[in-house]
Structure 1
Amino acid sequence: MSVVFPSLSSLRAFETTARHLSMKQAAEELNVTPGAISLQVRELEAALGVALFERKPRQLVLTPSGADYAASLRSAFRLIREATEVVRSRGNPDIITLSCTTGFAIQWLMPRLDRFQAAHPNIDLRIGTTARLVDFRTDGVALAVRHGLGVYAGLASEKLVDDVLVVVASPEQVAKLGPSPAPRSLAGHTLIHDAGRNDWRMWLEAAGAFDVDWRKGPLIAPDSNGALEAARGGIGFALLREGFVADDLAKGRLVAPFGNSVRSRFAYYLVYPPEALDRAAVRTVREWLVNEASRVL
């Protein structure tokens, strides 16, 4: 006896609605009207002969049968996506787009990309640099790195890099401070600023170096990349994120002459919609980023 399966469109409508617990959000994801979603879900319930949702005023609640069915469908759709990826990727790289700020891309990511490409030659990791929030549904972005507190509605977030500010300069500049330098020995030396001057004020006050004028020194905008290049070029002392200059410190291009650092309550977080990890290549990139963040260069 053959089994008549429900239509794929009704299954997608139900699984998406169950994930959001909202027909409006499901309609937005699937680019149809809420009325179409409602009709497809009701047709599915009629075909199955069971209620999948308990409809309350302004609220949808999955019934026990609906919750079990949604979990099974989620696994089934994941298998379909993975099988489709395998077919598409034969002979072609899997394209994954990562969105991040220019500073994160140049200072943290670029020194590590050779390792990623060597380990995962079949993944084409593309970097999109922007400071604005991306729309994962419409911008073609799988993963994003954002600077903040790590709380993003409807998205998963994992801390990658703490926001710890440390003073760095070229070895030649540090030598000018003399033996056993203290933060107050920065007086009379050039302080490099990236987007503003408050970071230097905060660091110097925390270090007790009240005699150093934090207001002086060139302001190199719009981000910390210019300050990094200026420090490498021996122009002066820059206050940069410790995690971003780890490669320069390890290779001796820069030196951190003081043990003092200032930790912000902000950090750099890897952000993504939970369903993005249904793609095997996205899971690979996510795991690599997390592992790199815990690695000492």
Structure 2
Amino acid sequence: MHDQTFRLPPLNALRTFWAVMRKGSFRSAADDLLVTPQAVSQQIKLLEDILDVPLFERKGRVIEPTEQAIVLSHFIDAGFEEFREGIKRVTKATYRNRININVSPYFATRYLMQRLERLRDRLPGVDLRMTTMVETPEFARDEVDVSIQWGFGGWKEYDTARLVHDPKILCCTPEIAENLSAPQDLVKQTLLHPVLSRDLWARVLRHLNVERPDEAGVIEFHDAATMRRATLSGLGVGLISRIDALADIRDGGLVAPFGTDALETMHEQDVPGFFLIVPRAHKRVKTIASFCDWITSEDWDSIPDAR
């Protein structure tokens, strides 16, 4: 058996590959890198030759990453995080007292805002910069340290922790409820979807033992607040967060045609929640690590009217 010298690919080729994986096309990556698509193609070809593996399947103008490319992208993403962290350390940026957090608008208004004073007690003098967005940010590009987002988990490239479940109640106006005598009647109604989880209704209907036809009516909404307003306006049947649903039911604007507990026995993996999402390298910064310790130690289920 003879030794084979490992040839490390040029950093520019790895950077180009990373851009293609993030942008989904050579042209978009070229725009991001301020080079031509031909230059991107040359760098990808160089990387494929060095690694001796195909990274993309080219189907006309569309490219699809191979399994090898998907695996490699996770390690390169982690590597660039390490580079950024190293630069922060040598420039003393590690010791800053600022935390840039990006939070789901719903979690910010319903959970986080009323507890910020507790954070300041835990981290006196911290400079907290908060933005709200319903999608997971690109941490480096958006200069975000930590994010709190809605979903079912699955951010495998980051450290994640579920902070609180977000159980739903199936709701509609009293007028629509008159046409819902059994769960199977839902297939005749317009179902209001959150864009972030197009399979949420599929999980709910499966739990209710309802087969959904492909032609079922659907309207999608970008955020929970808009979907709630649409449900109150009678546009269709919505899946409303328990906190809001109970309030709207008390006020008479909505009803739960199958009861407020119809979805309580859903499998845990089918119940969405809010997750802390942190690039692993970011937790080496003391202030960020302290923030993560605080937010995961809080009992978010104890929020008033959460049940």
- How high is the TM-score relative to the length of structure 1? 0.51
Pair 194,278 (structure 1): closer, same or farther in 2 beyond 3 Å: closer
Q: Residue 152 of structure 1 aligns to which amino acid in structure 2?
A: K
1:110 lines up with 2:113 in the alignment: no
State the match for 1:30 in structure 2. 86
CA distance in 2, matches of 1:132, 1:23: 20
- Asked if the contact 1:143/1:270 (under 8 Å) is kept, the reply is yes
1:248 lines up with 2:244 in the alignment: yes
State the match for 1:237 in structure 2. 237
Of residues 277, 280, 299 in structure 2, which corresponds to 1:271?
Answer: 277
SS at match of 1:159: strand
CA distance in 2, matches of 1:277, 1:295: 30
Pair 159,175 (structure 1): closer, same or farther in 2 beyond 3 Å: same
- State the 1:237 CA deviation: 1.0
Where do 1:40-119 residues align within 5 Å? 81=95, 85=97, 95-100=98-103, 105-119=104-118
- State the 1:233 CA deviation: 2.7
State the match for 1:287 in structure 2. 294
- Asked if the contact 1:160/1:267 (under 8 Å) is kept, the reply is yes
Pair 269,112 (structure 1): closer, same or farther in 2 beyond 3 Å: closer
Pair 118,233 (structure 1): closer, same or farther in 2 beyond 3 Å: farther
SS at match of 1:220: strand
State the match for 2:201 in structure 1. 200
- State the 1:113 CA deviation: 3.8
Q: Residue 168 of structure 1 aligns to which amino acid in structure 2?
A: C
Pair 167,120 (structure 1): closer, same or farther in 2 beyond 3 Å: same
State the match for 2:159 in structure 1. 156
Pair 198,271 (structure 1): closer, same or farther in 2 beyond 3 Å: closer
1:228 lines up with 2:203 in the alignment: no
Pair 267,192 (structure 1): closer, same or farther in 2 beyond 3 Å: closer
Measured against aligned partners, the alpha-carbon deviations of 1:231-266 in whole angstroms (never above 9, x if no partner) come to 1333321135xxxx1320342355544333354467
Using the aligned pairs only, state the percent identity: 16
Q: Residue 271 of structure 1 aligns to which amino acid in structure 2?
A: I
- State the 1:230 CA deviation: 0.6
Pair 107,229 (structure 1): closer, same or farther in 2 beyond 3 Å: farther
Unaligned runs of 5+ in 1: 1-21, 38-76, 86-94
Q: Residue 298 of structure 2 aligns to which amino acid in structure 1?
A: N
Over the aligned positions, Cα root-mean-square deviation in angstroms equals: 4.4
State the match for 1:50 in structure 2. none
- State the 1:115 CA deviation: 0.9
Pair 98,231 (structure 1): closer, same or farther in 2 beyond 3 Å: same
- State the 1:204 CA deviation: 2.5
State the match for 2:262 in structure 1. 260
| Bigger Rg, structure 1 or 2 | 1
CA distance in 2, matches of 1:233, 1:224: 14
CA distance in 1, matches of 2:198, 2:84: 43
- State the 1:287 CA deviation: 2.3
SS at match of 2:85: helix
CA distance in 1, matches of 2:87, 2:80: 10
Pair 193,23 (structure 1): closer, same or farther in 2 beyond 3 Å: closer
- Asked if the contact 1:197/1:214 (under 8 Å) is kept, the reply is no
Pair 246,202 (structure 1): closer, same or farther in 2 beyond 3 Å: closer
Q: Residue 101 of structure 2 aligns to which amino acid in structure 1?
A: L
Pair 120,148 (structure 1): closer, same or farther in 2 beyond 3 Å: closer
State the match for 1:169 in structure 2. 172
- Asked if the contact 1:200/1:214 (under 8 Å) is kept, the reply is no
- State the 1:109 CA deviation: 2.6
> Matched residue pairs, number?
207
Q: Residue 131 of structure 2 aligns to which amino acid in structure 1?
A: I
- Asked if the contact 2:170/2:237 (under 8 Å) is kept, the reply is yes
State the match for 1:73 in structure 2. none
